[in-house]
Amino acid sequence: MFGAFGGAYMPETLMPAVAELAACYAEARRAPDFWHEYRQLLQDYVGRPSPLFLARRLSAESGGARIFLKREDLNHTGAHKINNCIGQILLARRMGKRRVIAETGAGQHGVATASVCALFGMPCSIYMGRRDMERQLPNVKRMELLGARVRPVDAGSATLKDAMNEALRDWITHVEDTYYLLGTGAGPHPYPQMVCDFQQVIGREAREQFLHLTGTLPDALVACVGGGSNAAGLFIPFLADSSVKMYGVEAAGRGLDSGEHAASLQRGRPGVLHGNRTYFLQDDDGQILTAHSVSAGLDYPGIGPLHAQWFESGRVSYGSATDDEAVAAYHWSSRREGIVPALESAHALAFARRLAATLSPEASVIVNLSGRGDKDMETVLGFGAMEGKQ
């Protein structure tokens, strides 16, 4: 549990599977050979360490602090998701599982999962909301190319929440031989702990790289939060450094008060869904609301339990960026640095620009550039026209 959040609230049929997973991960977590293979694959397959890049032109235009980018976009498959997939596929093999299932929103987790399944010779089925399949068609094609079966989900809002429901349903009917490879730091225990363990490599590297470069620690860290895994991965290794401020950036969609956003912490309440107690967007009767964001990867009405705890303790501050601001930051980074960011990461950039402007030129901000943005080109190019029609 993370304070009052987390837990493992599952249907009875899945309790044994979740307990088996927790026991196996507890064993693997203590096993040096497990981490040895994980580190080796991160180096040779993923291409780690990812660079820490001083974005001089973005810094200059912000008119304040220096902005550093942690380049998770340069990882194999184009985002931070692969760090987690490497860890979990090693665990799946250790557990003797023969088949992998996963859910995906933007398709980044699906592509990373399909890649490691190809690498380990395991068949996989990826659940994806039909609406997300339409917005992220190139990633659907990539998953199929990698040998995965992409299963469209039409239920509900046909986005990530619904894909996760379907993946859980599949798991219930195939618990014996199937490994559920969850893509973010949410869901029942041990997933949040496990995913955050696998993503901490981001913050460990960033801390070491920044210290090496400057001899000091950064003043602030900024990361977008969907389920919260890239943010947690960056933040955790800095938690004990009280001088380092941390900012999670939620998707404000068409505005925090528009009813069309994905700001689970700033506009949600605690509840239980998908196996954990955390913050969710919900109506007065506790019905989960549909999230909205221009980026499919942030379009989830909940958030990992670790962030719920940090939100209440105040260790991490939570801000937001709207669709418009994210699209503007997408162009900004592309034009000024030659780096096309994922729309998810563009939320963090938009917030960091505002934050940097309030800080002195001696201050430094590290932004987690969680992924690359070629997958979002069509969404962004159609964005003005799409909004104009409404």
**Residues with catalytic function:** 81, 103, 370
For the window 260-299, what string marks contact with ligand PLP as x by the rule CB under 6 A?
A: -------------------------------------xx-
CA 213 from centre of chain: 27
Stretch that binds ligand PLP, among 208-216, 250-258, 283-291, 342-350 (CB under 6 A): 342-350
Residue 87 sits in the site that holds ligand PLP (CB under 6 A): no
The overall longest dimension of the chain from CA atoms, in Å, is 57
Tokens linked to 139: 């990633």
Size of residue set near ligand PLP by CB under 6 A: 21
CA 366 from centre of chain: 17
Tell me the residue number closest to ligand PLP, measured at CB. 371
Q: Contacts with ligand PLP in 110-169 (CB under 6 A)?
A: none
Smallest CA-to-CA distance from 202 within 376, 367, 34 is with 367
Q: Report the residue from 64, 218, 227, 305 that binds ligand PLP according to the rule CB under 6 A.
A: 227
Stretch that binds ligand PLP, among 106-114, 115-123, 207-215, 281-289 (CB under 6 A): 106-114
Our CB check for ligand PLP shows the closer of 59 and 184 to be 184
* Cα–Cα dist 160/153, whole Å: 9
Tell which phi-psi region holds residue 147, choosing left (phi > 0), alpha (psi between -120 and 50) or beta.
left
Q: Contacts with ligand PLP in 181-220 (CB under 6 A)?
A: 184
Stretch that binds ligand PLP, among 2-10, 18-26, 329-337, 340-348 (CB under 6 A): 340-348
Q: In which order are the strands placed within the sheet that holds 317-322?
A: 52-54, 66-71, 364-369, 220-224, 245-253, 317-322
User: If you ran DSSP here, which 8-state letter would residue 48 be given?
Assistant: P
Residue 345 sits in the site that holds ligand PLP (CB under 6 A): yes
* Cα–Cα dist 38/32, whole Å: 10
Q: Report the residue from 70, 81, 142, 277 that binds ligand PLP according to the rule CB under 6 A.
A: 81
Q: Count other Cβ atoms within 10 Å, centred on residue 350.
A: 27
* Cα–Cα dist 18/36, whole Å: 25
Q: Which helix (H) or strand (E) holds 369?
A: strand 364-369
Q: Report the residue from 170, 371, 379, 380 that binds ligand PLP according to the rule CB under 6 A.
A: 371
Residue 248 sits in the site that holds ligand PLP (CB under 6 A): no
Residue 224 sits in the site that holds ligand PLP (CB under 6 A): yes
Residues binding ligand PLP (CB under 6 A)? 79, 81, 106, 108-109, 184, 224-231, 297-298, 342, 344-345, 370-371
